[in-house]
Amino acid sequence: MRYMMCATVVLCLLGLAGTAVAADDEGEGEGFDFDAWRRGGSGDRKVDRELIERSRDGFSDQAVQEAIKKGVQFLWSLRGGDGSWPGQRAQKYPTGTTALATYALLAAGESPREERMAQSLKWLSENASNMTYCLGLRCNVWYLANKETGNKYNKAFNEDLVKLVRVRDNGAYTYQVAEGGDSPRQGGGWDNSNSQYGVLGTWAGAMANKEIPTAYWKLIQKHWNTCQQSDGGWGYRNDHSTATMTAGGIATLYVCFDNLYADQFLKCNVPDRDDQRIKAGLKWIDENFNAAVRSFQGGLMGHGDLYYFLYGVERVGLASGFKYFGTQDWYKLGAMKLLGLQGGGGSWRGKYDALVSTSFALLFLVRGQHAIAINKLEHEGFDWNNRPRDIAGATRWMSDSLERTLNWQIISMKAPVEEWHDAPILYLSGSRDPNMSDAHVEKLRTYVHQGGTILSVTECNGRGFMYGIRKVYKKMLPDKTLKIVPRTHPMYRLHHPLYGRPTLYAIHNGIRPLVIHCDQDLPRSWQLQMRRTAPNDFRCAANVLMYVSDMLKLRPRGVSHWPGKPKSTPSRSVKLARVKYSGDWDPEPLAYERFRRLLIDRARANIEVTSPVEAADLGDCDAKVATMTGTRKFVLTSQESEGLKKFVEGGGMLVIDAAGGSKDFGESAELALRSLFGRRALRRLARIAPIYNLPGMKISEVKYRREARVSRGLRDELNLRGATLDDGRIAVLFSKEDLTGGLVGCEAYDCAGYVPESCFEIMRNAVFYADAASKGGLVTAGK
């Protein structure tokens, strides 16, 4: 018998973490009550702005990666010659320390085929255990090791799993699983710490598609329901609630909920199907998370210490899908705490020995590197959560199919737009009319203009949503139309052949998709894990993700392509004009806003972007730089041509790029430039050209996107062309490859252009060169 499983809980148990970008930097988050919008109730708690600002400033993906690297090295340094990790706790848990260290290292990417790791796995397989902690961790080791070795450790996996599944009577575990599998009755020595680790191991078996009886999940659920305290938390036994045990209780109940009740979400608009005990547990975590993290052990923390607790927190965060506990981004806060506690040798030291503490800390940070594929949008105006485990099911299948660990997250409409960029896709679903206000539509517009893509799906054939979401898109992007995606489109064949089914619709700006929509009830299949009966519904999700992310070019958690409010003070400012002409002149309205923010923080220079200037009037503009882009063919009028020529001859610099690498626009632009400056005027710039060799900003090579390399055969070399006037000044910079889309910072499958970082460097040098040249300080190569 196979079971319906939730990817959030699955992934939280087996190697993922969650985080998101920091709170709004424009002040929208001030006074924002996250608990109220998450629970749908009222509250008066305020966002801790100081801590959120510290999180934004202190969190660094590079620092996390370095900490992981040091932690891995430290764990290897503790390994014994026989392949085991003896450790201080090994006397009580003979295989537990080795299982924990091996689990952490496998999760960190160490290969089970590597000689040292293979020796440790062999040692584990030859040394059996009846200890609950050991068995729970060992099953996770076998699960990860089997994925790369063709089930080499399946025998040991099955033996350990059988011992855990045979739990009896009260559904709880104690330190040792008795022969025959019987566990002690209520009052016979059970505790919730062992109990959560027993379920952790069983869930690893469920992840590996091993058969777990329904009766097992009912027994486990009954135990945790019985010992939940009146305040919503859990204790070590039937005592006061603690942070560590409450985290374990919530994560465990999510496991049971997903295995027992997945088929209750077939229909839409069924009220109040949430598990009330899980909600009560989440409320406890909300109210006590900050205090628990600030403590280290004892008191509110209860059994274990901070490292033990953070491992449980991670599981709850992924199980629930929420990025905040109370007012805190739980992953970022936890990561920053761990970075500050790591020792010089790469270790962490807590209540237990350094091996245990380092393993738990490493697991937390490692999981934080896994990307969020999809953010699910919560909205009070319609039935946004008919299938609460739809995206969980889709991401779990994609993780298996694409061989890339992926996750998901819930994002509120009330949260700042900047917080929505944890993932390349924002997911909306429902059966009723979305009923969005103008303010909500504006937030969606801002999101897509900042580089995001919306994926919407109609559930239960709900005509309210089907027609309502189209009205939203028409209001959001009035100059664009939601069109059917032709069957020859890459989304139907990128990774899986779909043969045009299910039917997709899209709004595309010529560079990337802004919206993708489907009227087939894909979430139903994702919720019920109908992998065999509705495979195309899952394949469609994978193809859409690969298209939007340009073949899974995903960022680590905590990293957003959209920069926050600049924190540096610019030392100078350069005026930049965007050229408006009779064509598709504005495919990415916020491209230069992102460039401006990056330029301030990286080069302490500001660009003052003027209102769009008509091409015919450009000659009278006092900007130093003007940019012109587009995605379609165009023909300039004589007045427009004269305006461009007057601008460059008057000292300005014109930067033209074919947005998305549009060949139609590129050809039109080339013809226009030749008519202005002659056939020989537009030439490829040499590597010694001054624009490539500005002091401290030398560009020796660039990098192209996949599409430019594949379809145009481009290599990582300088390929810009320019028109140089008689005084030697480069007056026109022309790129047949995309710059505009790259300046937005997102990935795009169809975009033939430079990678975002190269786009920034090219435009940065263009701005500085134009500014210097306009002041008579023309920079020459070599200076």
Q: Would you list the domain boundaries of the chain?
A: 7-265+276-369, 373-548, 572-774
Confidence (pLDDT) at 29? 31
Mean pLDDT of all residues in the chain? 88
Asked if pLDDT for residue 22 goes beyond 70, the answer is: no
Confidence (pLDDT) at 23? 29
54-58, 249-253, 434-438, 740-744: segment of lowest average pLDDT: 54-58
Confidence (pLDDT) at 179? 59
Q: How confident is the model at residue 745 (pLDDT cuts 50, 70, 90)?
A: very high
- Check residues 170 and 125 and name the one with the higher pLDDT: 125
Cβ(23)–Cβ(328) under 8 Å?
no
Q: What percentage of the chain exceeds 90 in pLDDT?
A: 72
Confidence (pLDDT) at 169? 62
Q: CA geometry: angle at 619 spanning 613 and 620, to 5°?
A: 75
If residue 733 lies in a helix (H) or strand (E), which one and from where to where? strand 730-735
Cβ(434)–Cβ(472) under 8 Å?
yes
Q: What is the DSSP letter of 338?
A: H
- How far, in Å, CA of 3 to CA of 680, rounded? 69
Asked if pLDDT for residue 28 goes beyond 80, the answer is: no
- How far, in Å, CA of 658 to CA of 631, rounded? 6
Confidence (pLDDT) at 318? 76
**pLDDT tens digits along 612-658:** 999 999 999 999 999 999 999 999 999 999 999 999 999 999 999 99
Q: Considering Cα of 349, then 355, then 361, then 365, what sign does the dihedral take?
A: positive
pLDDT, average across residues 317-321: 79
Q: What is the DSSP letter of 693?
A: E
Confidence (pLDDT) at 325? 85
- How far, in Å, CA of 162 to CA of 168, rounded? 12
- How far, in Å, CA of 289 to CA of 303, rounded? 15
Confidence (pLDDT) at 652? 96
Q: How confident is the model at residue 774 (pLDDT cuts 50, 70, 90)?
A: confident
**pLDDT tens digits along 689-734:** 999 999 999 999 999 999 999 999 999 999 999 999 888 899 999 9
Confidence (pLDDT) at 778? 61
Residue 176's DSSP bridge partners are 131
- How far, in Å, CA of 85 to CA of 54, rounded? 37
Confidence (pLDDT) at 508? 97
Asked if pLDDT for residue 441 goes beyond 70, the answer is: yes
Topology match between the domains 373-548 and 572-774: yes
Asked if pLDDT for residue 558 goes beyond 80, the answer is: no
3-state secondary structure of 101: helix
- CATH 1.50.10.20 describes domain 7-265+276-369: yes
Asked if pLDDT for residue 19 goes beyond 60, the answer is: no
Cβ(561)–Cβ(745) under 8 Å?
yes
Confidence (pLDDT) at 380? 84
Q: Considering Cα of 252, then 254, then 257, then 262, what sign does the dihedral take?
A: negative
Pick the CATH number of 373-548 from 3.40.50.12140, 3.40.640.10, 3.30.930.10, 3.40.720.10: 3.40.50.12140
157-166, 312-321, 375-384: range with highest mean pLDDT: 157-166
**Token couple for 356:** 């245990």
Residue whose tokens read 């059970």? 190
Q: CA geometry: angle at 60 spanning 692 and 590, to 5°?
A: 55
Confidence (pLDDT) at 188? 55
Cβ(779)–Cβ(769) under 8 Å?
yes
Asked if pLDDT for residue 8 goes beyond 60, the answer is: no
pTM of the model: 0.87
**pLDDT tens digits along 202-222:** 999 998 989 999 999 999 999
Chain centre distance of CA 116? 32
Confidence (pLDDT) at 365? 92
Asked if pLDDT for residue 92 goes beyond 90, the answer is: no
Q: How confident is the model at residue 498 (pLDDT cuts 50, 70, 90)?
A: very high
Asked if pLDDT for residue 3 goes beyond 90, the answer is: no
Query: Is residue 151 left, alpha or beta, with left meaning phi > 0 and alpha meaning psi from -120 to 50?
Result: left
Q: Strand 324-325 to strand 483-484: parallel, antiparallel, or no bridges (unpaired)?
A: unpaired
**pLDDT tens digits along 538-557:** 999 999 999 999 999 998 87
Cβ(730)–Cβ(724) under 8 Å?
yes
Q: How many residues does the chain have?
A: 783
Asked if pLDDT for residue 45 goes beyond 70, the answer is: no
- How far, in Å, CA of 637 to CA of 642, rounded? 9
Asked if pLDDT for residue 46 goes beyond 80, the answer is: no
Q: What is the DSSP letter of 21?
A: P
Q: How confident is the model at residue 168 (pLDDT cuts 50, 70, 90)?
A: low
Pick the CATH number of 572-774 from 3.30.450.40, 3.40.50.300, 3.40.50.12140, 3.30.428.10: 3.40.50.12140
Concatenated DSSP letters of 628-679: EEESS-----HHHHHHHHHHHHTT-EEEEEEGGG-HHHHHHHHHHHHHHH-T
- How far, in Å, CA of 123 to CA of 116, rounded? 11
Asked if pLDDT for residue 30 goes beyond 50, the answer is: no
